[in-house]
Chain A
Amino acid sequence: MQVSKVMLAGLVLSAGLVVPALAHHGWSWTDSGFFQIEGVISDIYIGNPHATLDVDVEGTIWRVELAPPGPTTEAGFVEGVAAVGDEVVAIGNRSQDHNEARMKAVRIIIGDDTYDVYPDRAKAI
């Protein structure tokens, strides 16, 4: 086997790995317009690698991705400010794949408290 063929195979493999990476980080996988859901928190996670909320909207569990834990806690969204069972409004961008109940939040509202986990983007709301 020639080494050049091995290297070519490696390049092809690594090129294939880059594509799915674009689908999760950043905003390329979301719709551009703002989207809003209201529901009840069924699970809450604040920590590495990504903070997430699971929100029950009339029986459908939405996965709401927040900012990484640093910016999320900086926005005031820390352990204890929300609990399972709380009503929540999440404003942000929905996945382009409308078959999946997934969005990336810019602003979270719990009761009278507003948490802008992406403050720069929240200005446009």
Chain B
Amino acid sequence: MIGLLEALEASGPAQFLRTSFVAYPVVNAGHILAIGALVTSAVLMDLRVLGAWRSIPMQTVVGYLRPVAVVALVVAVITGMLLFSVRPLEYLDNPAFRVKLVLLAIAVANAVGFTLLQKALDLRSMPLRVLAGISLLAWPAALLAGRFIGFVE
């Protein structure tokens, strides 16, 4: 594991990002943009499932926003791994980073669970509302934990 992280740290992209004046802030901005799109689309879907904006059909909201959330998650993970590669051992040691990874795992597992259950259950059913509630807490919590990475050690 440590050897793998050291190899990541020594890789070309990591070395480039570490010293680049332009590339690092650009990747950082991409990470923020993706997280913004991801958390916004997830929260909007959750609120709809929980009863907001009843005039818009639930299937329409989920149908439009889920692809946005999935693409945003992929971009957030790729840019996040690039930012991580600059100082992998330092970040892995960081308590806020660890909390963020756990919250992220919960949020992703919850979203996968929702998508699977949705095939068998009505979107208005209680189990799916509970998962929407978990999602509504987990994504912003992961964002908040991520923001604290720079301020704890």
**Which A residues have a C-beta under 8 Å from some C-beta of B?**
1, 3, 6, 13, 17, 20-21, 23-24, 45, 47-49, 63, 69-70, 73
Contacts and interface: CB of A to CB of B under 8 A. Distances in A.
- Of B28, B140, B147, B151, chain A has the most CB atoms within 10 Å of the CB of B151
Contacts of A17: 144, 147
A78 B143 CA distance: 33
Interface string B126-153: 0000000000000010001001101101
B122 to A, nearest CB: 20
Instruction: Give the interface size bracket for B toward A.
Output: 20 to 34
B87 A1 contact: no
Contacts of A20: 147-148, 151
20 contacts: A1-B50, A1-B51, A3-B52, A3-B53, A6-B52, A17-B144, A20-B151, A21-B147, A24-B150, A24-B151, A47-B18, A47-B19, A47-B87, A48-B17, A48-B20, A48-B86, A49-B150, A69-B19, A70-B21, A73-B19
B52 A1 contact: yes
A3 B147 CA distance: 26
Nearest to A47: B18
Contacts of B17: 48
Contacts of B37: none
A71 to B, nearest CB: 11
A12 to B, nearest CB: 12
Contacts of B53: 3
